[in-house]
């Protein structure tokens, strides 16, 4: 938390004298603000905590590719870095194209299941008091073959050779 103290009973703005001051905050955050007015009879102090809210911010991290279907993306929020712009009432809207569930309105949604191969967008929109932010991340789900060597076999070391017939399951 940053501290700001404003002194005086008049403020010089250009060539004019004013009994008010304008302070511009260039970033969101929580600030301690103190106004100290020096008077002829006594000094007066006003203290306040000022919360400056901003637009939400979103950044993404790469999502690892899925190797087979169905593919479960655990905790999709871990691939998004977010701030709510200082608005604790900000809302989160997730859209999972071709995923189940297809959408969510909680900050950290549940796992998402993809039942087909492809490249799918994951869209996050954060709506807050000072604006909205939207960003898309991508997940690629492959459907690589899964090896299957068949049922377990038993043999003795002096038995005649035999052939194993593997079969690939899945894949595109």
Tens of each residue's pLDDT in the chain, 172 residues:
554 445 444 333 333 345 666 777 777 778 887 777 777 788 888 888 888 889 999 999 999 999 999 999 999 999 999 999 989 999 999 999 999 999 999 999 999 999 999 999 999 999 999 999 999 999 999 998 877 777 787 888 888 887 777 666 665 5
Question: Would you say residue 170 lies in a domain?
Answer: no
The per-residue pLDDT for 137 is: 98
- Asked whether residue 28 is domain-assigned, the answer is yes
Tell me which residue range forms the domain holding 85: 57-141
The reply to whether 80 and 120 lie within a common domain is yes
Q: Tell whether 25 is covered by a domain.
A: yes
**What residues are paired with 80 via a beta bridge?**
60
In a domain, 43, yes or no: yes
pTM listed for this prediction = 0.68
Are 122 and 62 members of one domain? yes
- Shared domain check, 71 and 24: no
Q: Are residues 86 and 30 in the same domain?
A: no
Number of structural domains in the chain: 2
Q: Do residues 32 and 81 share a domain?
A: no
What is the pLDDT, as a whole number, of residue 14? Answer: 38
């Amino acid at each position: 938390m940053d501290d700001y103290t404003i002194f005086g009973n008049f403020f010089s703005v250009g060539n004019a004298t004013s009994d008010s001051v304008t302070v511009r905050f260039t970033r969101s955050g929580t600030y301690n603000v103190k106004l100290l007015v020096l008077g002829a009879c006594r000094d007066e102090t006003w203290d306040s905590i000022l919360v400056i809210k901003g637009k939400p911010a979103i950044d993404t991290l790469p999502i690892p590719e899925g190797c087979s279907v169905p593919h479960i993306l655990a905790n999709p929020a871990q691939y998004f870095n977010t701030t709510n712009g200082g608005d604790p009432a900000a809302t989160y809207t997730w859209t999972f194209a071709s995923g189940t569930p297809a959408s969510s309105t909680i900050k950290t949604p549940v796992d998402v299941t993809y039942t087909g191969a492809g490249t799918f967008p994951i869209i996050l929109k954060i709506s807050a008091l000072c604006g909205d932010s939207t960003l898309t991340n991508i997940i690629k789900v492959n459907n690589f073959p899964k090896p299957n060597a068949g049922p377990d076999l038993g043999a003795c070391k002096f038995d005649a050779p035999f052939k194993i017939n593997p079969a690939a399951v899945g894949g595109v």
